[in-house]
Amino acid sequence: MRENFLVYAFAALIPLAHAADPMPSIREGHIDRMANVVSKFVTSRNVDVWLPPGYDGTVRCPVIYMQDGQALFDPSLVFSKKSWNMAETTAALIRDGKIPPTILVGIWNTGTLRHSEYFPEKVLPFVPEEMREKFVRLNLNGKPSADNYLIDAKYATLHDKKHTIVMGSSMGGIISLYAICEYPDIFGAAGCMSTHWPGFLERNSSIPLATFIYLQGHLPSSADHRIYCDRGTATLDALYPEAQSFVDLLFRDKGYDGKNYKTLVFQGDDHTENSWARRVAIPLTFLDGK
């Protein structure tokens, strides 16, 4: 047994008491809720564990840890009334033989602290001081906490990194890439959809450049890691083409090619759960496919 750093023991998936938050309604598979997981590092939150159809605990499965867990399964429970529809998409890919039976771990964000927890702390030293102070004050609630978020809670699992994936969109894409860079022996793959390279809600050069400097020295080996990046072209995604193109060059220089790195552009897709739901089968198949 080796300990992963997120939140559950998959050897014995025991349903815990539900929080006041309603459970997602799904058509396929089953969800167990870890309610208000307490940590000395970060604010407590729910964790929803989706088990594929037919799961009985006798066969170990790949695991995908996903950010923004409350937006993954049931649009009726999301403020925007949009979700990734992960249960149905993942079940269909399993049924079609495109990916093996896979467990999804949806880690909820905490709303006001989301940006603070998802922005990579080790990028901040490369941001010019004046902008860094402004960014931390306005966007990170005065205190960056991504490193605490990454070491929160423990999973006891036999899964090797080949079958351990981290995934998210927007700031969730940033923290997923940060996770595989900081813990390359734990995560073998990362999915980064509509990655929010600017940090702010407008174009700037300082934060993307700081991120590039960090990535240049921290990208994991291309020999045993797979990474997926994409973007749309509308709303916030319209801010990403320059930064994503440069990131693509960094990956190429690190030895990544089409076998272990995929970068795609989806014309007309915007920065919403509906867009991510339409295309999420692509990273799932690339990162988790047989």
**DSSP letter string, 64-82:** EEESSGGGSS-GGGSTTS-
- Say what the pTM is: 0.90
Burial class (CB in 10 A: 0-12, 13-18, 19+), 258: exposed
Burial class (CB in 10 A: 0-12, 13-18, 19+), 283: buried
DSSP 123: G
Q: For residues 245 and 240, give the distance between their C-alpha atoms in angstroms, rounded to a whole number.
A: 8
Domain 2-288 belongs to what architecture?
3-Layer(aba) Sandwich (3.40)
Query: Per-block average pLDDT, block size 10, for the chain (290 residues)?
Result: 35 41 95 84 88 90 94 92 97 97 94 93 96 93 88 46 95 97 96 97 95 97 98 98 97 96 98 98 95
Beta-strand pair 45-51/30-37: antiparallel
Q: For residues 118 and 207, give the distance between their C-alpha atoms in angstroms, rounded to a whole number.
A: 14
Q: In the chain, where are the structural domains located?
A: 2-288
CB-based contact 166:21 (threshold 8 Å): no
Convert 234-244 to b/e letters by CB count within 10 Å (16 or more is b).
eebbebbeebb
